A and B are shown apart, each in its own frame.
Chain A
Amino acid sequence: MDQITLNHGSGGRATQDLIQEIFIEEFDNDILRKKEDSAVLDTGEREKVFTTDSYVIRPVFFPGGNLGKLSLTGTMNDLAVMGAKPKWISCGVIIREGYKISDLKKIVHSMAETAKNQDVKVVTGDTKVVEQSSCDGIFINTSGIGRLLKEAIHSDKSIETGDIVLVNGYIGDHAAALISARQDFKINIDINSDCVSLYPLIKELVNNIKGVKFIRDITRGGLATILNELVQNKEAGIELEKNKIPIRDKVVGLCEPLGYNPLYFANEGKFALIVKPEEAQRALKIMQQHPLGKNSAIIGQVKKEPKGEVSLRTEIGSTRIIGMLDKEIIPRIC
């Protein structure tokens, strides 16, 4: 058995074998072992958060990760930024007939490893096999449930003039790694995706900083877009300082000839944090002392004007608007 066939999606013995050998063995946990139609979750008293995401990234294996790892960290990060500990994940896989089973094994193994490292259980799943023409490889959907550490960090919480914007490290690595891996432009740069679970650092912040106003993972649309979403229709704006935003030279080097702006680049291991001004230095210290935030920086501030917009102090000291991403720059980035 080295390739997926339509028979693996029949619901019969081949499906059973595939699920047992590849998924259940890798994801092994008490809930999954029961092989019920639904997972029974002992959710305790705290409020829960629930999210879902589909992953269609190309290439499936990229520097610093693969579809499997990403499908876990992406969903876990969506839970973590709400202030929750990721607990249970579902895994729906759509595979094209002819897909290499060895590749599927690698993907599932990464998922299992990522889950175990973070004390997360994959508790339910589904596998479908489709014809060659219906899918160009493999797609994964994961949903996740997390348990709130304290109260939920809602993005509509009021931000106020003077609040400080921080980021937990270099911006743009994920998109840059993908562009390099795809070779659309025949440009090679030695860079890994930042694909990682952010929960361990977010936990430290939530437990130790009182004035957390906003946390959002900086995925599609990049830093510029998530901050624009935040200030839209608000009585305040955000001013970023170009010189303070951590961006690797090699990412700048990739962007320059291609006309890309790394502020619109997707990340898979970065978040923007907004805190009260008096908490900014302490938050920065916590972040910089954590392995997931060594290169953290204060990058901007909430300002009264221009309302509802994100502005940028440029390298040369002038100010301009930095709007939302208006057209997709790199498709299938996650």
Chain B
Amino acid sequence: MKYVDEFRDADIVSKLEKKININNVGKKINLMEVCGGHTHAIYKYGLQEILPDEINLLSGPGCPVCVTPQEYIDKAIVLAQKEDIIITSFGDMLKVPGSRSSLKKEKSRGHSIKICYSPDEAIRTAVENRKKEIVFLGIGFETTAPSIAQTIKKAREEKINNFSVLPASKTMPEAMEALLQSEEVAIDGFICPGHVSTITGSTIYNFIPEEYNIPCVISGFEPVDILESINKLIKQINKEESKVENQYTRSVKIKGNKKAKAIMYTVFTKSESKWRGLGTIPESGLQISEEFKKYNAENRFDISVPKPDKSDECICGAIMRGVQSPQDCSLFKTSCTPKSPVGPCMVSSEGPCAAFYKYQLS
């Protein structure tokens, strides 16, 4: 096993393609994925193209950069403009436009902003720059939250006092529920996020079939994984069943990664959180707990930003909710491109607009 080629095998894909048979021919079936990795893979391998016409793949709020609200970027910019602060961040965040600027523009104006590949790199930056304050932009879902938590814990243990996090970690199940409650889109099944589930375990989605009668399948990220997950969802839909199934068994276990969860809930507590496009969702955020509050950049610095002006034209919010697609947007490929993105969905490679722009045949 190479764990790559086998999951991109043309013969297996073709067998799966034939297996996906819909009972109720002609009826549209909306399957939503809520993970940027899935969005990217679906576009990259042109999966929509090989599925039956009835199946409509929707991208939900699964790209961490895309769901981060504009105010957060504005706050990061205020921090970046302070002389004694070095902002450390995952690379994608730099290009996301705030209301007046972006971190990339601030960087070119000479403010200290450093791209990190992991939160641990941010801690190292703090050790190497003791006279500066290092702020890490802590975005992402359950996948990245444990490593951010670990970094905060390490800062306390090693007395690294010039390090803090601007927290914006989010949890996925509450956003999925908000989408279902809004009833804006009829979702017939969820392709559940494989990386999030690797941390959380597979039971966090149980309420979806139980309370909303919607099938869920946790999926891996290769074409064979996604097609197998779609096949499982269609089988449930055909049988009018709804349950949580785990296709990504090589990574996801029922109870998840206990160690990662433990550290996550040592440092963070559940809180409400604002999502771009979805608004404020109760219990959908991870706030730094009282015990670790000195590592919260919000407590450490005065960061007040005016309420951002709403851009009328960018429809990232509606795309995040699965209500509209990138090609519905008047800015797409005209004034909004990966080179100069208007909205966050065009920034991250996991954003639906960027993936559509990059891979879709015209």
Contact = CB atoms under 8 A, between A and B. Distances in A.
Contacts of B358: 321, 323, 326
Interface in A305-334: 306, 309, 311, 314-321, 323, 326-327
A14 to B, nearest CB: 36
A320 B43 CA distance: 8
B100 interface: no
A256 interface: yes
A122 to B, nearest CB: 38
B339 A316 contact: no
Contacts of A249: 2
Nearest to B118: A185
Interface of A: 184-185, 243, 249, 252-253, 256, 259, 306, 309, 311, 314-321, 323, 326-327
Contacts of A185: 117
B349 A259 contact: yes
A311 B46 CA distance: 12
A321 B360 contact: yes
Given A315-B8, A316-B10, A321-B362, 13 more contacts: A185-B117, A252-B4, A259-B349, A316-B8, A316-B45, A318-B45, A318-B49, A318-B50, A319-B361, A320-B359, A321-B358, A321-B359, A321-B361
B264 interface: no
A120 to B, nearest CB: 39
Listed residue (A306, A316, A318, A319) with the most chain B CB atoms within 10 angstroms of its CB: A316
Interface in B8-43: 8-10, 13-14, 43
Interface of B: 2, 4-5, 8-10, 13-14, 43-47, 49-50, 117, 223, 338-339, 349, 358-362
A317 B339 CA distance: 29
A287 to B, nearest CB: 26
Contact of A316 (B2, B117, B223): B223
Contact of B361 (A259, A311, A326): A311
Nearest to B40: A259
A253 B4 CA distance: 9
23 contacts: A185-B117, A243-B10, A249-B2, A252-B4, A306-B362, A309-B362, A311-B361, A314-B8, A314-B46, A315-B8, A315-B9, A315-B10, A316-B9, A316-B50, A318-B46, A318-B50, A319-B49, A319-B361, A320-B45, A320-B359, A321-B359, A321-B360, A326-B338
Nearest to B117: A185
Contacts of A326: 338-339, 358
B362 to A, nearest CB: 6
A231 to B, nearest CB: 14
Nearest to A327: B338
Nearest to B224: A316
A249 B1 CA distance: 13
Contacts of B362: 306, 309, 321
* 3 interchain residue pairs of minimum CB distance: A318-B46, A316-B13, A315-B8
A103 to B, nearest CB: 26
Contacts of A315: 5, 8-10, 45, 223
